[in-house]
């Protein structure tokens, strides 16, 4: 029997590559723009409207996020194939949440680099909207973890729930560190990025191991 597109190993490997691209964005920023400091600056500096090579950085980031969406789409079809309705609902929620997050980043980039790195004790509307999206996305991640637990996949259960909690933790810490003006926001931002792709990438690796080449 011919495999469906979402059963192909290259689909899951492409998603894994997308996660790697997202994690490596600060390193790419420092490589192509020497003034960028990955430890002190969050990756959003690269996407600000007045940033050098903003279009290129946005394009690479968009590619990574679309490949993560590929994982979510494949996970949904896999759950549908196994007739796991509750898992389908949870994955659909994460897919929509990630898509909204991607669209938000594209249509509402930071107005300037200074607005991203300056210490400001007031939360901007953009930051508040971003936080709400992250929290809703994290809730859907947690729901996916619960469903994998119900299906007796303890490793997937743990990684999705852990990722959800870390996403909320680091997104709040990111706002706090920026408000205090500490030169570590880049580190917190990178930890948030890792936690956001951890679960889908781990699941892709988990599935790839069971797919025949």
Q: What is the pLDDT of residue 45?
A: 93
pLDDT in tens, 107-132: 999 888 888 877 665 678 888 999 99
pLDDT over 90 (residue 206)? yes
Q: What is the pLDDT of residue 11?
A: 94
Between CA 149 and CA 86 the distance in angstroms is 12
Query: With the CA atoms of 76, 77, 83 and 86 taken in that order, what torsion angle do they form, in degrees rounded to the nearest 10?
Result: 10
**What does pTM read for this prediction?**
0.93
Mean pLDDT estimate for the chain: 92
pLDDT in tens, 49-79: 999 999 999 999 999 999 999 999 999 999 9
Q: What is the pLDDT of residue 116?
A: 81
Cβ–Cβ contacts within 10 Å for residue 154, how many? 10
**DSSP class of 48:** S
pLDDT over 80 (residue 34)? yes
Instruction: Parse the chain into domains and list their residue ranges.
Output: 5-208
Mean pLDDT in residue range 82-87: 94
- Residue in 160, 172, 154, 169 with CA at minimum distance from that of residue 197: 160
Residues 131/66, Cβ–Cβ less than 8 Å: no
- Reported as a pLDDT band with limits 50, 70 and 90, residue 176 is confident
- Reported as a pLDDT band with limits 50, 70 and 90, residue 5 is confident
- Residue in 80, 96, 97 with CA at minimum distance from that of residue 88: 80
- Identify the residue whose tokens are 């007031």: 122
- Reported as a pLDDT band with limits 50, 70 and 90, residue 7 is confident
**DSSP class of 212:** -
Q: What is the pLDDT of residue 77?
A: 95
Q: What is the pLDDT of residue 197?
A: 97
| More confident site: 77 or 34 | 77
CA angle 192, 201, 107 (to 5 degrees): 55
First to last CA, the chain: 15
- Identify the residue whose tokens are 């030169």: 183
Q: Which of 8-17, 55-64, 119-128, 193-202 has the lowest mean pLDDT?
A: 119-128
Between CA 177 and CA 180 the distance in angstroms is 5
Mean pLDDT in residue range 31-56: 92
What is the sign of the dihedral through the CA atoms of 196, 18, 146 and 84?
A: positive
- Residue in 113, 115, 118, 109 with CA at minimum distance from that of residue 35: 113
Residues 38/190, Cβ–Cβ less than 8 Å: yes
Alpha helices in the chain (DSSP H): 9-32, 44-47, 54-81, 85-107, 113-117, 125-150, 154-180, 185-208
Q: What is the pLDDT of residue 119?
A: 60
Between CA 172 and CA 169 the distance in angstroms is 5
Q: What is the pLDDT of residue 122?
A: 64
| More confident site: 133 or 115 | 133
């Amino acid at each position: 029997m011919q495999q469906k597109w979402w059963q192909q190993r290259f689909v899951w490997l492409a998603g894994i590559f997308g996660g790697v691209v997202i994690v490596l964005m600060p390193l790419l920023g420092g490589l192509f723009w020497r003034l960028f400091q990955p430890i002190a600056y969050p990756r959003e500096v690269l996407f600000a409207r007045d940033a050098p090579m903003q279009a290129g950085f946005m394009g690479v980031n968009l590619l990574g996020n679309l490949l993560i969406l590929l994982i979510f789409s494949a996970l949904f079809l896999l759950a549908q194939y196994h007739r796991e309705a509750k898992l389908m609902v949870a994955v659909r929620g994460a897919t929509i949440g990630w898509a909204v997050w991607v669209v938000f980043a594209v249509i509402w980039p930071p107005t300037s680099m200074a607005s991203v790195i300056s210490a400001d004790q007031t939360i901007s509307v953009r930051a508040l909207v971003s936080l709400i999206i992250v929290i809703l996305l994290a809730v859907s991640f947690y729901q996916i973890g619960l469903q994998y637990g119900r299906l007796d996949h303890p490793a997937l259960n743990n990684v999705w729930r852990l990722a959800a909690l870390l996403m909320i933790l680091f997104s709040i810490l990111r706002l706090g560190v920026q408000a205090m003006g500490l030169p570590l926001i880049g580190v917190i931002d990178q930890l948030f990025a890792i936690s956001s792709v951890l679960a889908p990438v781990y699941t892709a690796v988990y599935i790839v191991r069971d797919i025949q080449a």
